[in-house]
Homo-oligomer: A and B are copies of this chain.
């Protein structure tokens, strides 16, 4: 076995104890909210059959899926035509049967279809697991990262959409964020606009161009729209849409005029209005702050995919892209042959939320999660004296350690500092003689003499 200098696979990360405490805080906070809204956790395997994943994410997505090499003599079953032609892409299906999941949505769809006889519809599930993508790593983009998805399948009620708004509001507030905007749009509104100007096929070009208003102004947007195939007449019709501003009510009333002739567009407006109403009704007797919920008709994430409401959340406290998003997709499970099941869901961008919380210093004091008491170890007699106390501390649910070997005080204190242990119990010959041990508060530096039971009472606050 030759010695190699160890390194991480490109784009992957280790998480240290202090990072894990913070990550668990984020995941636990979000999961608690999911459960309160009636969502239950599932998990799916990291490895899926390659055929389950291929063709679901477009050609570019397919390239980013990590494929797993078949075990054993995989070349014996390799397609010889592809092999001789050194056709890397063509060869994949004959030497790789499995792949790492690319997101949590496709595995969820597979889950629903495979377990359709065991689940009660509507099926409300959340899933917090890593996914893998062979993207070029860069700041904030990793090849392994966690997704936190919450979806309901089998219910077309807009109550679900309204509850997702409140889930964002509650989870992000519980994490300490105070200023964030939940943007909402509806695919049907975008379809209606494209329909009204007679260019349904240019819906994406239209949305991309309008989205740039802030950066390039109305003239810039006009120029881009013309480049993308719109006429001056189209732009005249689009003008109220491009310049849409004001509060949600005024935006909706402008849109109603533009979309007066589009059944689809009016349906999209009605859906948004219903979501707004549900949110208002839910909070009508509550003291919870009404979410900053904003209709943004330039919001188009995953447009090919979504069929109804579309969500995205942005923090206004830090420079950061979206920290969450989602929407409704009318045919979630069709790809696996189960037609007519509608789904709607959102996800939280855990890595970005972590970065925002770090920047805003929103993580709570983490010492509570780690060891609370270190008992010193100056010699074997003191260590043996300490053992019953160590057990008692743990029986009182106080996370505790005895320094495992005799060592200089400085070294032991350094260990307590490195682990941010808030209390050290010092046991020397005086302490053993008197039965009164020295409890040192590492933050303040103060010391007091207490019996073993006194230490436990002090630490449990009894």
Interface residues of A (CB under 8 A from B): 1-9, 12-17, 20-21, 24, 35-38, 40-49, 51-52, 55-56, 63-64, 66-69, 71-76, 78, 83, 86-89, 91-92, 95-98, 100, 109-111, 113-115, 118-120, 122, 124-125, 130, 132, 134, 143-144, 152, 155-157, 159-160, 166, 170, 278, 281-286, 288, 334-337, 369-371, 383-384, 387-388, 390-392, 394-395, 397-402, 404-405, 414-415, 418-419
Contact = CB atoms under 8 A, between A and B. Distances in A.
B281 A399 contact: no
A76 B87 CA distance: 9
B405 A157 contact: yes
A36 to B, nearest CB: 5
A281 B41 contact: no
Contacts of A159: 383, 402, 404-405
24 contacts: A3-B337, A7-B49, A7-B52, A8-B45, A12-B47, A17-B125, A20-B41, A21-B40, A21-B41, A40-B371, A66-B68, A66-B69, A66-B98, A69-B69, A69-B96, A72-B88, A120-B419, A122-B415, A124-B401, A152-B404, A155-B404, A159-B402, A160-B404, A170-B394
Contacts of A42: 14-17, 20
A96 to B, nearest CB: 6
Q: How many copies does the complex hold?
A: 2
Nearest to A82: B75
B388 A47 contact: no
A329 B89 CA distance: 44
Nearest to A77: B88
A282 B388 contact: yes
Contacts of A3: 334-337
Contacts of A391: 166, 282-283, 285-286, 288
Q: Is the interface of A mostly helix, strand, loop or mixed?
A: mixed
Given A76-B88, A114-B6, A281-B384, A36 B394 contact: yes
Contacts of A52: 4, 6-7
B71 A68 contact: no
A97 B414 CA distance: 40
A24 B43 CA distance: 11
Contacts of A400: 36-38
Contact of A76 (B20, B40, B86, B124): B86
A221 to B, nearest CB: 34
Given A3-B334, A64-B71, A120-B418, 12 more contacts: A15-B44, A17-B125, A20-B42, A36-B394, A36-B397, A37-B400, A66-B98, A69-B69, A76-B88, A83-B83, A120-B414, A284-B388
